[in-house]
Amino acid sequence: MGQTIVQKVLAKKSGQSEVHPGEILYPKFDLSVIHEVPVVEFWEELKAVGVTKLARPEDMLVVSDHEIPINTLKAAERTKKTKELMKELGIKRFIRPGCHGIQHQVTLEQGYVLPGMLITVFDIHCLNMGALGAVSVPVVYEYPTVMATGTIWVKVPETIRINLHGKMQLGVSVRDVIHYVMKEVGAEAADYRMVDFSGPAVKEMSIFERMILCGVIVEIGAKSAIVEPDEKTLAYIKERAKFPYEVVKNDKDAKFERVYDFDISNIEPMVALPPSPDNVAPLTEVIGKKIDSAYIGSCASGTLEELRAAAQVMKNRIVHPDVFCLVVPSTQEVFREAADEGIISTFIKAGCHVIGPTCAPCFGAINQMADGDTRIATSTRNDRGRMGSFNSDIYLASAVTVAAAAVKGSITDPREFLR
Amino acid sequence: MSWVYRGRCHKFGHDLHIDDEIMPLRFVRERETRPEVLSQYVMHGIDPEFPKRVKPGDILVAGRRFAQGNPHAQGFRGMKALGLGLIAEWMPRGAYRNCVVAGLPAIPKCPGILDMVNDGDELEVNFETGLITNCTTGAKLKSEPMPSFLREIIAAGGSTSFLKKQINKA
C-alpha cells in the first residue's frame, strides 16, 4: 500500500519501513523551534523535576518574535535571562532581534525548513512550514518534554487531500480561498488530519501563497498541512538551504482518507466573523460595518506579496480619519524589500503606522482594542478578547480587503479600489 | 489513582471556546500556572459560580468541539485542580492533548452523551474502560477510553509529572 508524505517522513524518523494512521510513534525530530518567551519558564519547570541537561540542544532553534520590541521591564529581564540560559544550555541556533521575523516565515526564508524534514514547534501556526514540503508538528505545552527527551508522542494522522482548480478572480487572494475551504471542509473532518494541498491552482501559487494556505488551516484543527515539493520549492530553497535534505513525495498509490475538489474561480472575497476563524461568510454579508482599526501582518500575511497587494489599494489614497491602520512586515528581509520597492513609502503616505516584524499585535500584546472596538485584520485568530477587551470584535480577511476597509472606514468590497 | 469517578453531572452545550469562555485568556498572557488560581476561573465566561458548585468526582459533560481555539492548557489544569472528570461529544486535537498535559481524566469522543444525561444527574464514569453509567436514570453507554499509554501520563498527573517519573526511573 502506498504511503503519504507524512507517513514516509514519520516512518523514516522512527526507523521503520512504513507506518499507518493511528500508530503512536516517538520520532527523532530534525529540528525543534521555540520562540523566546517560554524558554526560561520551561527550563525552570524541567529543573524542578530533575532534568539537568537538554537532550539535543544542537537541534533547537530559538526565534525572537513574540516579545519584540520589548515593552515591559519583565520582558527585558526575561530576554536577558533567555540569552544567558541559551549559552548555559548550549543552544547555539538563535534568530536574534534585528535579523528576525515571525518564526513561521523567517525559518523558511533563512533555510531552516526544508523538504522531508520533521520539525516540532512550540507554536501552533507552524503549519506554514508545509509550504516547503516539511512536516511540522505543533506541541505547545509538551515542548518541555521535547527539550528533555528529544521526542514526544505523535499519532500518525490520516491525510486528506484538497485539490484546488481554476484561477482566482481579481481582488481575491489565497486568504479568501482558504477561508472558503475551511468553511466547506469544517472542523470535524479536518481534526487531527494532515492536509495535503494539491491540484493545478496550488501548482500556480507562489511559496508565500502556499504558506498562507497551509498555515491558516490549523484553525480548523488540522494536525499539519503540506504541499508536495515541486520546481518552485526547489528554486526557493536553492540559495537558502542550511542543511542537506531529501525531497519526499506521496507515493502514486498513497491512500488519502478523503479527497476534496474545489474550483476557486468563483470564490468571492470572504471574511471570518467573530469569534472564530472558521466562522466564515462572504464579505458581502458585512459590507458597511464600521471599523476603528485595521491590522495587516502576522504569520498568516505580512509577506511581500500581501504588502504589495495592500499597497495597490493604498496608493494615492489615505486611511480613513477614524481608523488606525497598523502594518507589520513579517520578516526583516520582507521589510527591506518592501522599503526598496517603495511599498513602505506608500503605506506611510497613506497614514499607516508601520513597525518592524513582531507577533505581538496578533495576540494582543501591543495595540490592544478598547471596549466596543471593531477591527479588521489579516491575523490568525479572532477569539473574544484576543486583542484586548472581551467586548471587541475582530474580523479576519485578506490584505486587500483590510486595506480597502482602512481607507473606507468600514468593511467594503476591495474590488472597487482595483478596477 | 482511581479511574472511577462518581459525582454530579454538569452539562454544557456545543462549541465552547477555551479562551475566555472556559478560562480567561489573560492567564495565558500572564503565564499563570498555579492550580489554586486557575481552578477558581473554570468556565468563567459562561458561569462564574461554576467552581463553587462543583465537588471532586463531579463530571463536566460537554458537546461537540469542546474547548475549540488556540490550544491553551490553563482551563484543563483548572478542571484537574477541581478534581473533575471530563466527557465531550467531541473535542479537537489540541484540547485532547491538553487533557493529557494537565493530567485530566477524559473521554474525548463520546457521541450521544448529551442525550443521555441531564444537568444534576448522578454519573459513574470509568475512564479506564469507557463505561458511563447514569445512576439517576439507569442508562449506560460504552465509550472509547483514551489509549493506555496516554492514561499512563494522566495517572502520573500530567506530562511534567510523567517526565519526572521517567527521569527518576532512568
Block means of pLDDT (10 residues each) for chain A, 419 residues, are 96 97 96 97 95 97 96 94 98 97 98 98 97 96 96 96 97 98 96 97 98 97 97 98 97 97 98 96 98 98 98 98 98 98 98 98 96 98 92 97 98 94
Sheet holding B106-107, edge to edge: B106-107, B85-88, B59-62, B4-11, B122-126, B131-134, B140-142
Domain contains A69: yes
- How confident is the model at residue A25, as a pLDDT? 96
CB of B68 within 8 Å of a chain A CB? The answer is yes
Q: Which residue has the cell 463520546?
A: B110
Residue A8 lies in a domain: no
Say yes or no: B83 contacts chain A, CB-CB below 8 A. no
B65 touching chain A per CB within 8 A: yes
Q: Do A383 and B25 touch (CB under 8 A)?
A: yes
- Range in A310-324, B99-113, B155-169 the model is least confident about: B155-169
What phi and psi values does residue A177 have, to the nearest 5 degrees? -65, -45
Q: Is residue A257 part of a domain?
A: yes
Q: Do A318 and A184 have their domain in common?
A: no
Classify residue A171 as left (phi > 0), alpha (psi -120 to 50) or beta. Answer: left
- A299 and A234 fall within a common domain: no
- State whether B160 and A144 contact (CB < 8 Å): yes
Residue B170 has pLDDT above 80, yes or no: no
- Please tell me whether residues A306 and A394 are part of one structural domain: yes
**Residue A132 and residue A159 in one domain:** yes
The Cα angle at residue A198 between residues A197 and A204, in degrees rounded to 5: 110
Min CA distance, A419 vs chain B (Å)?
Answer: 37
pLDDT of residue A407: 98
* Residue A169 sits in the same domain as residue A54: yes
Q: In which band, very low, low, confident or very high, does the pLDDT at B1 lie, cut at 50, 70 and 90? A: confident
- Examine the pLDDT at B167 and tell me if it is beyond 90: no
* Option in A49, A188, A223 nearest B160 (CB): A49
Q: Is residue A165 part of a domain?
A: yes
The answer to whether B118 touches B3, Cβ cutoff 8 Å, is: no
Tell me how far apart the alpha carbons of residues A227 and A141 are, in angstroms, rounded to a whole number.
27
Nearest to A35 by CA among A123, A105, A113, A148: A123
Rounded Cα gap, residues A299 and A287, in angstroms: 26
Distance (Å) from the C-alpha of residue B60 to the closest C-alpha of chain A?
21
Same domain for A158 and A281? Answer: no
Of A218, A233, A262, the position where a domain reaches its end is: A262
Domains of chain B: 4-169 (3.20.19.10)
Looking at the structure, do residues A239 and A90 belong to the same domain, yes or no? Answer: yes
Bridge pairing between strands B131-134 and B140-142: antiparallel
To the nearest whole Å, the CA of A341 is away from the closest chain B CA by 35
The count of residues in chain A is 419
Position A176 scores a pLDDT of 98
Q: Does A388 touch chain B (CB under 8 A)?
A: no
Q: Does B69 touch chain A (CB under 8 A)?
A: yes
Measured distance between the N- and C-terminal CA atoms of chain B, rounded to whole angstroms: 23
Contact A145 B93 (CB under 8 A): no
Write the ipTM.
0.91
Question: CB contact, 8 Å: B109 with chain A?
Answer: no
pLDDT value, residue A78: 95
Q: Is A282 a domain residue?
A: yes
Q: What angle, rounded to 10 degrees, do the helices at B93-102 and B148-156 form?
A: 50
Chain A positions touching B73 (Cβ under 8 A) are 140-141
**Any B CB within 8 A of A386 CB:** yes
What does the alpha-carbon distance between residue A389 and residue A292 come to, in Å, rounded to a whole number? 13
Q: Rounded to an integer, what distance in angstroms lies between the CA atom of residue A321 and that of residue A417?
A: 18
Contact A380, A219 (CB under 8 A): yes
pLDDT of residue B169: 84
Last residue of a domain, one of A241, A262, A283: A262
- Position A69, amino acid: P
Q: Are residues A170 and A236 in the same domain?
A: yes
**Would you say residue A47 lies in a domain?**
yes
pLDDT, average across residues B121-139: 98
Q: Peptide bond before A275: cis, by omega within 30 degrees of 0? A: yes
A98: cell is: 534585528
- Picking from A216, A238, A262, the residue at the C-terminal end of a domain is A262
* Per-residue pLDDT tens digits for B25-59: 889 888 898 999 999 999 999 999 999 999 999 99
Which of B98, B149, B166 comes nearest A141 by C-beta? B98
Q: Can you give the residue range of the structural domain that contains A312?
A: 271-417
In this prediction, residues B51-77 reach a mean pLDDT of 96
Q: Cβ contacts (< 8 Å) between B150 and chain A: which residues?
A: 153
For residue A115, what is its C-alpha cell?
Answer: 523538504
Mean local confidence (pLDDT), B89-118:
96
Question: Domain of A341: which CATH number?
Answer: 3.30.499.10
Q: Does A277 lie in the same domain as A256?
A: no
CB distance from A149 to chain B under 8 Å?
yes
Can you list the positions of beta strands (E) in A199-274?
Answer: 224-227, 258-263, 270-272
Residues of A with CB below 8 A from B19's CB? Answer: 383-386
| Same domain, residue pair A71 and A197 | yes
Domain assignment of residue A14, yes or no: no
In a domain, A16, yes or no: no
Judge whether A125 is closer than 8 Å to chain B, CB to CB.
no
Same domain, A238 and A311: no
How close does chain B come to A327, measured CA to CA in Å? 23
Nearest CA in chain A to B168: A50
Give chain A's domain count: 2
